[in-house]
Structure 1
Amino acid sequence: MSVYKRYYITPFSNRVHIITWNVGSATPPDDITSLLGLNVGDGNTDMYIIGLQEVNSMINKRLKDVLFTDQWSEVCMERLSPFGYVLVTSQRMQGLLLLVFAKYYHLPFLRGVQTETTRTGLGGYWGNKGGVSARMSVFGHTICFLNCHLPAHMENSEQRMEDFESILQQQQFEGQAATGVLDHDVVFWFGDLNFRIDDLEMQVVKSAIDNNKLPTLWEKDQLNMAKDSETVLEGFQEGPLKFPPTYKFDVGTDTYDTSGKKRKPAWTDRILWRLRVTAPAGAALAAGKRGSISGLTSGTKVTQHCYRSHMEYTVSDHKPVSSIFTLQFPYKVDVPLVTLIVEDEWNSIADATAKFKLAPSYSRSSWDWIGLYKVGFKHHKDYVGYVWAKQEEADFHRQEHQVTFTEEELPKGSGDFILGYYSNNMSTIVGVTEPFQQPCTGQSERAHRHRWSSIRHHHSSRE
């Protein structure tokens, strides 16, 4: 049995780390290592999803990367890229920012990437409130990540629900696989949802927090109450709120609001998920209670490992919230659309060749290209050189094609590199090699063969 067949029938686990933070126009703190879990990480996180609200819209001219206009994108890339995470896509709408990162060897299996934005501020004319999303097929299963900033203030709970429903209705994606947000196999909904704690006085809320009696506040949380009556929330799940309310703090402290407004503490910052139900309507009705039919899905399982706040970050009046999930589903897409092969080490300029094979289903473009990336690259345009993935007309039906990098397209020093095949039609990398060495010209080391095997690489790292 081939390795690909084994993976086709074996359940596959994908570990996703989601962060939401209303940063209150602040610049990034000096160190976000603990927020990303990189200080205790075991390297098994496959994707990072970062949703920010109230990102400062001022363009910072000191940014190193001209492709990005905010410090938060740059800081996240700087911290994650040394660990092999590449920016898959990003979407920004005024202060709302969504960043999606994945291990570089997953890139060929993240397909159909699309983003959407919906304004709900000032009746839909202003983007200070609303939602930004990114959807994609991950190993053949559709996932949508939705970052929202809903209306503020205690009395606007109903308006929050109306805005959320409006976002779901307006966000439509191209293609037949998944047209709306809720048509995806898995939806993650997070952000500054702005729900407050009803009825209870400030002193009662603070006393419950101080005495670690948080469950007494749960039943008065507006989002929890809405789950019983709002059909738009049907199927959405959330872990227990075992961390103190994340809003509102005096900036620079762990002290709840002491200003004249004296905002009552609230769990404004949330992370929820939803599995698409595939059972027929009759079975859903027979199941009775909401959420009790979560098992009647297409074999996808979502397990939440932690749901927490990060009190140590004080640059904003909100605390960041994070959650780690394992998504378990069968491998559906287990072969890259383009297979890249580097035969030997590039000991000389003449050795700088690569071969590529196209899957029969792949629709190529004359604008496809192959990038040479240093290990630890940040995004698909962060290459050190590239060549066009040309196919001569006479060779069009050949299975294997070869490209050569010229001296001008190669970096001067040595190091570890990978090649990535960029699809112009799909706007993403659809094939990568494993890392290989490019020694300095003339350096003699034993040549060895490196072949695409991200699936085997990923499998061995799991064992």
Structure 2
Amino acid sequence: GDSSFGSSWAPSPVTDPWAAVVMERPVKKMRHLKRLRLHLSVPFISGTYTNYTPSGLSGYWGSKGEVAICFWLYGYAICFFNCHLLAHVSSIDQRLGDFDKVLETQNFEKENIANILDHDLLLWFGDLNFCIEDYELLQHPLKKDHLNMMKKTDSLFQQFQEGPLPFQPTYIFDVNSENYDYSEKRRKPAWTDRILWRLKWELLNNPVDSGECDHFFSLTLKSYESHMKYKISDHMPVTVTFELELKSLLLIPPVTSIPEGQWITTYDLVVSYTRSPDFISSSWYWIGLHKVVILHVKDYVTYAWVKDNLVFSRDGLHQVYINASGFSEEGGEFLLSYCSNSLQAIVGQSEPLQISENAMTPEDWREKKGNPLMS
């Protein structure tokens, strides 16, 4: 049955050229984090894993907290670390204490990563709640921004990089306006919403030429901006754009899928695939037929279990059939995705392929004895 693929997740339209592939539901009470992935990189992303630490009122209420969503990209360990730290100017010591606690408790032993700081790339972002000291008295408030002040004196904070802040403080606004809220809350404007990153020490010392080393991972900031047009909150959202250059530690994808023959709706299809020598398959692997823009690994048109639908296997070549009963009648452009439940990843993907609408009449079908590929 299909019960193992049930999901209450509802896809939304995607207009960005990047395709969002959401591999795993977020932890309860935590915000949705989407990993944005280019189609060609998907087979080289694996091992999605998560961790979280509630904070606020000793962690019982969970009004604050941190969630980490991590994965392997071309053999490098990547971590997206979203934090909502304690607020108020006077709470800086407790805020830093909460952050230290989080770093101690966020471990990923199953991935052979002892501590969150052992990731090759750590992206730290969220409502960090760092305030501005004496905002009303300053002509240059950035000099008294608590986060910038900490980076001058704290060795851990010095390991994180951040771009220049070319935008005004992102908090606290009257909702549905661009005016700061100076009501009885008496909160001072501040750059509470931040995006920082940290590269592992070994990667910081890469040579300029990627051909000179086995590991090369370079991250270049292209933009760092807030978006004043979104006014539904007392915060203004912040985005960052990076240019990433790396030397892959994986030369070929674990699985290469190839569609066979001419693909026509209403006819069962055959998929051929090969596996890299060190990749071990299991009965929990399946091949999905997805629209070209994949919103979710389980947002398939139809699928087939590799073990149950295997029709041929010899000399490293395997063939699986996919029943056509789930195909859309109008055809269209699709991808074949080789999926692993145990790895929570797409480990192989075909090039985009066209499935044609079936225009044959019953007479045509009888003439070809039920084989649409007969000439």
Structure 1 residues 274 and 262: CA distance shift in structure 2, 3 A? same
Structure 1 residues 133 and 90: CA distance shift in structure 2, 3 A? farther
Deviation at 1:300, TM superposition (A): 2.2
Deviation at 1:374, TM superposition (A): 1.8
d(CA) in 2 for partners of 1:318 and 1:393?
53
The answer as to 2:231 corresponding to 1:314 is yes
Deviation at 1:192, TM superposition (A): 0.2
d(CA) in 2 for partners of 1:412 and 1:96?
37
2:343 match: 426
1:379 match: 296
Query: Any idea what SS the aligned residue of 1:355 has?
Result: strand
The answer as to 2:247 corresponding to 1:247 is no
The counterpart of 2:58, out of the listed 123, 134, 150, is 123
Deviation at 1:320, TM superposition (A): 0.2
Q: Is the 8 A contact 1:92 1:98 kept in 2?
A: no
The answer as to 2:78 corresponding to 1:143 is yes
d(CA) in 2 for partners of 1:83 and 1:228?
37
Query: Any idea what SS the aligned residue of 2:13 has?
Result: helix
Structure 1 residues 134 and 218: CA distance shift in structure 2, 3 A? same
The answer as to 2:144 corresponding to 1:220 is yes
1:102 match: 37
2:3 match: none
d(CA) in 2 for partners of 1:82 and 1:326?
15
d(CA) in 2 for partners of 1:386 and 1:259?
56
The counterpart of 2:260, out of the listed 343, 350, 365, is 343
The answer as to 2:292 corresponding to 1:368 is no
Q: Describe the superposition over 1:304-343 as per-residue Cα deviations: whole angstroms up to 9, x where unpaired.
A: 0111110111000000001111122212213111111112
Structure 1 residues 440 and 162: CA distance shift in structure 2, 3 A? same
Deviation at 1:80, TM superposition (A): 5.0
What letter is aligned with 1:100?
R
Q: Describe the superposition over 1:235-273 as per-residue Cα deviations: whole angstroms up to 9, x where unpaired.
A: 111111111000000000000013222321100000001
What letter is aligned with 1:183?
D
The counterpart of 1:237, out of the listed 153, 157, 161, is 161
The answer as to 2:95 corresponding to 1:179 is no
Query: Any idea what SS the aligned residue of 1:243 has?
Result: coil
Query: Any idea what SS the aligned residue of 1:161 has?
Result: helix
TM-score (norm 1): 0.70
Structure 1 residues 373 and 267: CA distance shift in structure 2, 3 A? same
d(CA) in 2 for partners of 1:255 and 1:106?
42
Q: Is the 8 A contact 1:85 1:378 kept in 2?
A: yes
Q: Is the 8 A contact 2:256 2:349 kept in 1?
A: yes
1:288 match: none
Structure 1 residues 78 and 393: CA distance shift in structure 2, 3 A? closer
TM-score (norm 2): 0.86
Structure 1 residues 317 and 200: CA distance shift in structure 2, 3 A? closer
The counterpart of 2:244, out of the listed 303, 327, 341, is 327
Q: Describe the superposition over 1:1-57 as per-residue Cα deviations: whole angstroms up to 9, x where unpaired.
A: xxxxxxxxxxxxxxxxxxxxxxxxxxxxxxxxxxxxxxxxxxxxxxxxxxxxxxxxx
The counterpart of 2:124, out of the listed 186, 189, 197, is 189
The counterpart of 1:303, out of the listed 215, 220, 225, is 220
Structure 2 gap ranges (5+): 1-5, 208-214, 365-371
Give the length in aligned residue pairs.
351
Q: Is the 8 A contact 1:96 1:131 kept in 2?
A: no
Deviation at 1:232, TM superposition (A): 2.9
2:368 match: none
What letter is aligned with 2:332?
G
Query: Any idea what SS the aligned residue of 1:223 has?
Result: helix
Q: Describe the superposition over 1:202-252 as per-residue Cα deviations: whole angstroms up to 9, x where unpaired.
A: xx45xx4xxxxxxx2111000111112333323111111111000000000
1:359 match: 276
Query: Any idea what SS the aligned residue of 1:91 has?
Result: coil
Larger CA Rg, structure 1 vs 2: 2
Percent identical residues:
39
Deviation at 1:276, TM superposition (A): 0.7
Q: Which structure has the higher relative contact order (CA within 8 Å, separation 6+)?
A: 1
| Structure-to-structure mapping, 1:194-205, within 5 angstroms | 194-201=129-136, 204=137
Q: Is the 8 A contact 1:386 1:405 kept in 2?
A: yes
d(CA) in 2 for partners of 1:158 and 1:270?
19
1:270 match: 194
**Which region of structure 1 is more displaced relative to structure 2, 298-307 or 336-345?**
298-307
Q: Is the 8 A contact 1:345 1:351 kept in 2?
A: no
Deviation at 1:358, TM superposition (A): 1.7
Deviation at 1:349, TM superposition (A): 4.7
d(CA) in 2 for partners of 1:144 and 1:379?
20
Q: Is the 8 A contact 1:97 1:132 kept in 2?
A: no
**Which region of structure 1 is more displaced relative to structure 2, 318-327 or 384-393?**
384-393
Deviation at 1:91, TM superposition (A): 2.4
What letter is aligned with 1:217?
P
d(CA) in 2 for partners of 1:91 and 1:119?
14
